[in-house]
Amino acid sequence: MARGATDGWIVRPRPNPGAALRLFCFPYAGAGAPIFRDWPAGLPETVEVCAVQLPGRGSRVRETPFTEVAPLLSALSDSLERDLEGPFALFGHSLGALLAFELARELRREFLPQPVRLFVSGCGAPQEPYLYPPIHTLPEAKFLAELQRWGGTPLEVLAHQELMQLLLPALRADFALRETYAYADEPPLDCPISAFGGLDDRWVSRESLDAWRAQTYAAFSLQLLPGDHFFLASSRPRLLAAIAETLAAHLAAAG
């Protein structure tokens, strides 16, 4: 069986086959589908949350994680094709935003349905230079130190040696995805883009968030929320309220 044909790519925290719209959610580096488990409660009942579970974590922990964006996109688009029959939107945070954006472009290249909106969070525009030195090949001790500096991985998890040995392959792979990514110039997307950032995010500037407007022919919006790079947790109610309002407006306009 082809790698992209395996099941398990999507986790639905609250299955809703009759939903008017699906929201596919991509986690940040090292995270998995569980970070979206509470999202259905903050979104309209007309929206089904579909959390993307990449290989190497959660129920797929024994699968080899991807280290390059192109083969990941190919496998993902093959798997998702059957779920793109109705309206859908894409959301991604940090690395997840980059993957959501590139998935939209991959779907366009394959003449598959396009999202009604792309939500990007905590991630500078893809055409902007990546300013940070690579860490995915560092020795373990230095790599763990860099993870602590980035944040997002709880200290108790970093200190748990057995657990970290289980998580390290996916963490290294996710940083490899970002650090080896090479942006290719293509026409902007036809769908609107909504960008979100943290007011205290030291990794992603407002200017790099605003640069996402170059990636769409349609409407663009930028909203900054309280919090650092992981504001999607600390400001989750406000983030979900903004997403809910945008999707409700789309559904109302679509009748």
Spatial separation of the C-alpha atoms in residues 137 and 243, rounded to whole Å: 36
pLDDT tens column, 6-55 = 368 999 999 998 899 999 999 998 888 999 999 999 999 999 999 999 99
**What are the φ/ψ torsions at residue 188 (nearest 5 degrees)?**
-60, 160
Residue percentage of the chain with pLDDT more than 90? 65
Contact 54, 177 (CB under 8 A): no
Residues 6+ apart with CB under 8 A from 106: 73, 74, 76, 77
Spatial strand order in the sheet of 88-93 = 10-11, 47-52, 21-26, 88-93, 118-121, 193-198, 220-225
* Domain covering 3-130+184-254 assigned CATH 3.40.50.1980 in the classification: no
Q: Reply yes or no on whether the pLDDT at 200 is more than 50.
A: yes
Runs of H (alpha helix) within the chain: 69-80, 95-109, 140-150, 155-158, 161-179, 206-210, 231-234, 236-254
Over residues 112-159, the pLDDT tens digits come to 999 999 999 999 999 998 877 888 878 877 877 777 777 656 555 555
**Could you tell me if 191 and 216 are in contact, meaning their C-beta atoms sit under 8 angstroms apart?**
yes
Rounded average pLDDT over 173-184 = 93
Structure tokens at 154: 């709880």
Split at pLDDT 50, 70, 90, the class of 4 is very low
Domain map of the chain by residue range? 3-130+184-254
Backbone angles phi, psi at 91, to 5 degrees: -130, 140
Query: How many Å separate Cα 206 from the centre of its chain?
Result: 19
For the chain, give the percent of residues with pLDDT over 70: 91
| Catalytic site positions | 94
In this structure, the chain runs to a length of 255
Torsion, Cα 156 159 161 166, to 10 degrees, reads: 50
